[in-house]
Structure 1
Amino acid sequence: MARIRELSVGYIVDSNLPFTAFESTYLQELFRQLDSDLYAQVPWGRTATKKDLEDILVSKKAAIKEELNNTVTQIHLSFDLWTSPNRLAFISIFGHFIDRRHLYQSRLLAFKRQIGSHAGENIAYTIRNVVRDWGIDGKLGVSICDNAASNDVYLRNLYTTLDASITRADTEARRMRCFGHILNLVAQAFLYGDDAASFKLQSESYDMLERVEEDVEHWRANGPVGKLHNIVKLIRASPQRTKAFKAHAKEQEEVDTYKLTEESTAELEVIQNNATRWNSTYMMIERALVKQSELSSFIQELGLEADASKRVPTADVLTSDDWNVLREVSHILEPVYNMTMRTQGWGTNEGHGRLWEVMTGMEFVLEHLENWRVLYEDQTADPAAEERYTTQGEEAGPAMGVTPTLSRQPTVGQIRERASRQSRLPSRL
């Protein structure tokens, strides 16, 4: 009986259902049909389900607390903040450790309201109370968090409160930055320049104020990536135009009889990016490259429209050089995207998010980007090439103006050795 009640509560929690879920007439009749005696013995009402949840929480918390007290390592924390659709702030806190069986474990320590602003002092106050509630304040290791400046304040407040002898260098050494967030910042800087946050805020401001033309100009200044953004937005802005693009793609596929053995791409839709999630830009480019011929011919078809608002502006029409730039952007961002996807979530099978993979992945991405930079430097060293790229840069804007349209990868001879890096941690860590 206890197992049945535990499973029913697990179903409610895992599926994010209300306590009234088992009061459904259809569900109750299903239980009767399966086992009428069991149905009669188990209370299925909201009050009983809520009480079962509270009892299970107390029981499981005691088991986890014992597990935390018997770890063979320190307990390392990770946390993140989230704002719900109804504007309530929540914080989730996980503990990571090796248990006495020498197995890696992660446990959710708290998911609770974050009162006040997201300032470092407030975060430290919340996490400190959670740490003390679990009785692990003497076993705390590092904290895994994103690159927000407030997290420096959080670290100083949390660790110095728990141990007054901890120095500033000690707290800094206890900060482990989120690899996925670092990759996000790298890609954002590559796509939108040094001040990617300002680019995003400006776009969001134009969108909120419905200043369409200014938003189009804002993206256009970002070069081929921005021009593609505007084209995709124009296509997706109207259900009729989206349907017309699909119909056009099917017509193109029928004409291209030499592609009979290839998988159909006619039903694939173009993907709209945004300035917040860089991987949406990568996916937009990848899909556009797959549908390049369809997009190019559809833009030409729209150019025949009598209504200028239905045509792609001349300034947004992608040239062959623009497509080459997009192809190179895709080549450059592909490893960043793959590494982001590979290392997210829980580590499995000795990889997919394990620490060793993050360390080697960081070196892999850095070397990849440095090799491409060498290629660009070698090409722009040629006066004729530099003049050509400068001219393109004036048209393309600051973010993509320096990208050469070479559509090839660095050769072995162009790859240079770089100095190895050493990391020094405080001796007490």
Structure 2
Amino acid sequence: MARVRELSVGYIVDSSLPFTTFESTYLQELFRQLDSDLHIQVPWGQTTAKKDLEDILSLKKAAVKEELDGVVTQIHISFDLWTSPNRLAFISIFGHFIDRSSLYQSRLLAFRRQIGSHAGKNITYTVRNVVRDWGIDRKLGVSICDNAASNDVCLRSFYTTLDASVTRADTEARRMRCFGHILNLVAQAFLYGDDAASFELQSEAYGMLERVEEDLEHWRAKGPVGKLHNIVEFIRASPQRTEAFKAHAREQEEADIYKLTEESTAELEVIQNNATRWNSTYMMIERALIKQSELNSFVQELGLEADASRRVPTADILTSDDWKVLREVSHILEPIYNMTMRTQGWGTSGGHGRLWEAMTGMEFVLEHLEDWKVLYEDETANSATEERRVIQGEEPELATGVKSTPAGHRQSDKSESDPHVSHDYHHDFKATRSRRYTAVAK
């Protein structure tokens, strides 16, 4: 097949464009003006483009099959499922191996509709068919997938289907749980409690049924994070309020004589989170802390409206204590967010995503959370002591106005509520471990 036709189809696929892309009269004339010889090689019709795609797929599949036949290691697979905006379920399956040239390779083995439920048996059926289609069922190593219970069922069934002698322990040994998904579960549990999935489903149900008040109350029950969610949703629910907030933020920026650069339109906006992607909640909080003064003054300005529907509900107004909680939530989530972003790479030379980063990252996140646990246990114990002293009529200890952080720094109460104070959290594993043992020893 001519290279031009292959590149044309590749452009359509890579950019997620319709097959009718090259039917544009203007695009055809542009090619004709640039190079008449090139013009006649491009697949202008959608029927031709589809046919070329099928031919390319057949050729490339044969090339990948040859690679898989010549591997020098086992072939490890990874798979994931998700639902598209139009509610269609898809599954993608990758193969990972070392080739004849001793180079690490990853190849997409399947990207297809997942028919039926996301139950383990259904997933097993799909993965098994893909593996057998490529003829690699005797070369399989480990499987990497999310931490979902359905994947437990899937892999137990999958491996025993390929080899009846495989035991439950063998299946566990061949399973690697996705580090990014583990971090996601940790953050979700921290933000929404043990049953984060139910919280997400309930919020989606309220949204589909347009039960606005109940959804607001549902989020409000989650404390300052939920209240901030409601405020952001209130602002972004109306194009007029969205523009009004950006104008308000721009006025505040112009009044700040110490600003060295002008913020972009996107930076003037608040970020809306959702229950599905915890990192959207982190980014919502981060932007809100940067825009704390603008948000507070804008909410106060809306409070002067005569129409109650144009005001932020009183129950959602953030207090100074709420902002302190949001800042601490941000501190706790920041390393988890950074670790998630850091380990998203392909593990290639000069990049991120290698196994050692996941292993040391898991230890670091655990120590980070344990440091905060020790801090809050100490604060809870101190609060209980103060309460006992008050009950017994003793004089309470004078407040110092200074609070310790797990990072070993000390900061005044003023910095807790100041959105412009930055906190530097170094990802120093040895230092973190040392602080942890020191805190526990105390």
SS of structure 1 residue aligned to 2:127? helix
Counterpart AA for 2:92: S
SS state at 2:95 partner: strand
Deviates more, 1:17-26 or 1:36-45: 36-45
Secondary structure at the counterpart of residue 382 of structure 1: helix
Residue 437 of structure 2 is matched in structure 1 by 416
Specify the alignment match of 2:184 in structure 1: 184
Change (3 A) 1:151 1:205: same
* 1:242 equivalent in structure 2: 242
Amino acid at match of 1:69: D
- Indicate the RMSD between aligned Cα atoms, in angstroms: 2.6
Q: Map Cα deviations across residues 72-129 of structure 1 (whole Å, 9 max, x no partner).
A: 1111111122334444332211101111111111001111222322221121111111
Q: Is the aligned partner of 1:232 residue 2:232?
A: yes
Change in Cα spacing, 1:82 to 1:194, as seen in structure 2 (3 Å) is closer
Q: Does 1:26 align with 2:23?
A: no
Query: Which amino acid is the alignment partner of residue 233 of structure 2?
Result: K
Asked if 2 retains the 8 angstrom alpha-carbon contact of 1:380 and 1:386, the reply is: no
Partner AA of 2:406 in structure 1 = Q
Partner of 2:105, secondary structure, is strand
TM-score by length of structure 2 reads 0.83
Aligned to 2:75: 75
SS in 2 for 1:275: coil
Q: Please say if residues 89 and 113 of structure 1, whose CA atoms lie closer than 8 Å, have aligned partners that are also in contact.
A: yes
| Cα distance change, pair 406–202 in 1 and its aligned pair in 2 (3 A) | farther
Secondary structure of 1:210's partner?
coil
Counting only pairs closer than 5 Å after superposition, residues 227-376 of structure 1 correspond to structure 2 as 227-257=227-257, 259-261=258-260, 264=263, 268-376=268-376
Distance 1:26 1:332 in 2: 53
Q: Deviations over 1:171-198 (max 9, x none)?
A: 1111111111111110011011111122
Q: Measured at CA, do residues 322 and 407 of structure 1 come closer, stay the same or move farther in structure 2, by a change above 3 Å?
A: farther
Amino acid at match of 1:183: L
- In structure 2, the partner of 1:146 is 146
CA distance in 2, matches of 1:127, 1:261: 54
Count of residue correspondences: 402
Moved more, 238-247 or 371-380: 238-247
Structure 1 residues 26 and 222: alpha-carbon distance in aligned structure 2, compared to 1, 3 A threshold: same
1:144-183 pair list within 5 angstroms:
144-183=144-183
Is 1:12 aligned to 2:5, yes or no? no
Distance 1:407 1:314, change over 3 A: farther
Q: Share of identical aligned residues, percent?
A: 82
Tell me whether 1:102 sits opposite 2:99 in the alignment. no
Mapped partners of 1:240, 1:38: distance in 2: 49
Going from structure 1 to structure 2, the CA distance change for 1:128 and 1:295 (only over 3 Å counts) comes to same
CA distance in 2, matches of 1:73, 1:15: 33
Change (3 A) 1:213 1:67: same
Structure 2: how far apart are the matches of 1:155 and 1:56?
32
CA gap 1:66/1:261 in 2 versus in 1, 3 angstroms:
closer
What is aligned with 1:208? 208
Contact 2:219 2:227 in 1 (8 A): yes
Instruction: Note closer, same or farther for the CA distance 1:172–1:386 as it changes in structure 2 (3 Å cut).
Output: farther
Structure 1 runs, 4 residues or longer, greater than 6 Å off: none
What is the DSSP-based 3-state SS (H/G/I as helix, E as strand, rest coil) of the residue aligned with 2:368? Answer: helix
CA shift in 2, pair 1:322/1:387, >3 Å: farther
Aligned-partner SS, 2:108: strand
1:136 is paired with a residue of what secondary structure? coil
Gaps of 5+ in 1: 389-404, 420-429
Distance 2:105 2:381 in 1: 52
User: CA shift at 1:368, angstroms?
Assistant: 0.8
AA aligned opposite 2:346: W
